[in-house]
Amino acid sequence: MGKDKLRRFTEISTFKNVLQLTEGHALKGNWLAKHFKNNHPVVLELACGKGEYTVEMARLCPQKNFIGVDYKGNRIWRGAKTALEEGINNVSFLRIQIENIAEYFTVNEVSEIWITFPDPQPQLGREKKRLTSPRFLDQYRQILQPGGFIHLKTDNDDLYTYTLEKIAAQNLKLYVSTNDLYHSEYDNEILSIKTYYEKKYLSNNKNINYVKFSFE
């Protein structure tokens, strides 16, 4: 690990808006009462990377609490530091493996889930690692409130198609699907948030796919 990565790992352990690994277990069922100390909805961004999307959603929606989830602490450092420096108090970060997400939230504790530009895991043997695979959907079902939305933004056309197939196979409720978000009727303030990598995709004329669905 490089010196800069090591420094960031050390620094996030001092951040009040970052919980790592088993630290988050104590907040299961108590994120509002013990951590955010309000009654606002809890929204997750999974595979949040540097937390750009998480932080920007928190800026735009102060009436909601946002938690960016990722395993790479040196990436989380950027979003967490920005939130601390700018006094954005309705955002935190959880450094865990996403496949263990149900260990950190109780039934109906999460109001909404965002999955923004995840690793598409294109190899057939890695299907179980796709964040919209049945394995992960089962985890989300345990913690999401009835009617709570799941959003997927991705530049990967195959992941978009795969997700639509899983929604149909599980008879889930599909609200929105488009393979060209920014030339559709669905674009809005939240969906217009663009990360560093999304800007690169767009500069290369890559279409952006978007899906919005729920379990009921």
Marked catalytic residue, from 4, 70, 119, 138:
119
Interacting residues of 7 by C-beta distance below 8 A, sequence separation 6+: none
Tokens representing residue 103 in the block? 């260990």
Secondary structure letter of residue 83 according to DSSP? H
Q: Among this protein's residues, is 119 annotated catalytic?
A: yes
Q: For the chain, what percentages of helix, strand and coil (3-state, to nearest 5) are there? A: 45, 25, 35
Rounded Cα gap, residues 171 and 168, in angstroms: 5
**Neighbour tally for 58: CB within 10 Å:** 25
User: How far from chain centre, in Å, is Cα 27?
Assistant: 18
By the 10 Å C-beta count (0-12 exposed, 13-18 middle, 19+ buried), 185 is classed as exposed
Catalytic positions, written as ranges:
119
